[in-house]
Chains A and B, each alone.
Chain A
């Protein structure tokens, strides 16, 4: 790529403009087309492969829901919603302490939380599996909820501390002088002020759980307990792929992600997300 200095483009030569446009069109195409292809494919019999029929149909969607795809959605919703609520509540508490008080090991603890964001999750699979087997937490909602709660806490605490330090401490202190307890301060002052930040954090935590694959694969083996990502991949057989079903299931999985992610993406600056992408 040539220069970036915007000044150099004040009078871009025609050829330069063409090169730029060409790059732009190719880039846009590669970024967007695959997703659109799948979206359209989900309305075609066989996902659009091997069939020249242009008729659009809801058959793929009907088929997956008749075959019990709703169960996976239900499992994912239960596990992810509960894990998100618990994780966000615990994270708000921890983040409040980090943002308001000085205490011993504060920096060490916060550093440990930052490390949680780059932890090699795969290393936890074996010991957690052994522990879960002993505690009867394999194939259980509780086991998955606990795992996902722990999985989202580091990122949530980090993000929430970032929000909470922007609220002046004097606000808390004034309320406490007026006779409010710390809990009342959090519930009646911090929560309303920080609601958008809390919602963004919770949403992001939810999305991490909604699309998590590895823990679900290891800890959920019974079909009736499996989550959406596992359900999506059940259509990949050893030598046959039910593309129509896969496309429809992909759209069902991704739609809530887009709807939830787009409104909050401005709040989640790329630098912050960097730590959470797995």
Chain B
């Protein structure tokens, strides 16, 4: 009985905060999404409009463009490339040559720099390098690859690859370091056996290394989906969803509709779309990550 009181006391403060800051808002967001609440008329409240916001959403051509940007560029492209580059760097650091040359330790340290750099600063760094007369243009002109400087973040042909580049620079190190630590758990005998069987290096990678890494790749990939899909800062700070609304994604659209167009109701409807998509991924997260974290921790 005394234990019960103690447990409640210990858990209550944090649980109350979590309910107030996660539980209540998500339901209130649903309610707001059925109203025409305006940021300028919060005192008088919004009128109930039923599904009007959702209808408008799915009938607007702009929304399809936003979905495409969010799913294809912000999420799929960045997640796949992040895993590929992360795997590449992990494999590179794990080669004997790198260890013999003592470059592995140096590279590990080098990975910490972009990893520790806050996203807000990573965007600053790359906006500077990608300027019209910035380092990247100078280098490309110097190498004779282009003759005219490119406005990377203002040209619709280069803006998405540039945003993805910024995200990759900032987040690949975490993937690389995680995969490197998984790589180091592959037992040496497996490689010896593969060598005895006369496996080529590709076969060794495909049938020994990759199966070992697969669980880590799956989890990191899934977590990447969450950070990318919900991410606001990279797009917002790199381009402000521009040029025009060319790089607008769901997260920036939620902000723009609420705080620039003052349409809280409509913005909340977009938020609900995001919540539903993430809910679907949440089930995967539950199966693949949370369940395991729970078993491992408790």
- The answer to whether A and B assemble together is yes
Say whether B94 contacts A4, CB under 8 Å.
yes
* A90 in the interface (beta carbon within 8 A): yes
Stretch at the interface among A17-25, A56-64, A67-75, A194-202: A17-25
A32 close to chain B: CB less than 8 A: yes
Residues of B within 8 A of A162 (CB): 297
Q: Interface residues, chain B, CB within 8 Å of chain A? A: 3-4, 6-7, 9-11, 13-15, 17-18, 20-22, 24-26, 28-29, 32, 37, 39, 42, 87-89, 91-92, 94-101, 103, 106-107, 110-121, 124-129, 131, 133-135, 169, 171, 173-174, 177-178, 181, 183, 186, 188, 191-192, 194-195, 200-202, 204-205, 208-209, 219-220, 223, 226-227, 229-233, 237, 250-251, 254-255, 258-259, 264, 267-268, 271-272, 274-275, 278, 282, 285-286, 289-290, 293-294, 297-298
Is A168 part of the contact surface with B, judged by Cβ < 8 Å? no
B293 proximity list for chain A (CB < 8 A) = 114, 158
Are the C-beta atoms of A126 and B32 separated by less than 8 Å? yes
B119, A211: Cβ atoms closer than 8 Å: yes
B174 touches A270 (CB 8 A): yes
B60 to chain A, nearest CB (A): 19
* 22 A–B contacts, CB within 8 A, in A order: A3-B205, A6-B188, A7-B188, A7-B192, A9-B96, A12-B95, A20-B98, A24-B92, A31-B169, A37-B128, A97-B6, A101-B7, A121-B232, A123-B25, A123-B26, A123-B254, A123-B275, A124-B25, A131-B28, A146-B17, A218-B259, A265-B112
Cross-chain contact of A246 among B18, B113, B128, B298 (Cβ < 8 A): B128
Residues B18 and A112 in contact, CB atoms below 8 Å apart? yes
List of B residues within 8 angstroms of A269 by Cβ: 181
Q: Please indicate the chain A residues that have their CB under 8 angstroms from the CB of B125 in the complex.
A: 34-35, 37-38, 250
Q: Which residue of B lies closest to A16 (CB)?
A: B97
- Asked if A177 is at the interface of the complex by the 8 Å CB criterion, the answer is no
| Given A122-B255, A130-B28: A2 in contact with B201 (beta carbons within 8 A) | yes
A107 to chain B: closest residue by CB: B294
Cβ-neighbour of A37 out of B129, B205, B255 (below 8 A)? B129
Q: Once bound together, how far apart are the Cα atoms of A265 and B117, in whole Å?
A: 13
- CB-CB < 8 A to B15: which residues of A? 94, 109
Expressed in whole angstroms, the Cα–Cα distance for A207 and B169 within the complex equals 19
Chain A interface residue count: which class? 35 or more
Known contacts A118-B282, A120-B278; A254/B117 CB under 8 A: yes
Residue from B17, B106, B186 within 8 A of A149 (CB atoms): B17
**Cross-chain contact B92 with A90 (CB below 8 angstroms):** no
Residues in A neighbouring B18, C-beta threshold 8 A: 112-113, 116, 150, 153-154
B92 touches A1 (CB 8 A): yes
B259 nearest CB across to chain A (Å): 7
Does A189 count as interface, using CB distance less than 8 angstroms? no
Q: Is A96 an interface residue (CB 8 A)?
A: yes
| Residues A124 and B22 in contact, CB atoms below 8 Å apart | yes
Contact, CB under 8 Å: B92 / A23? yes
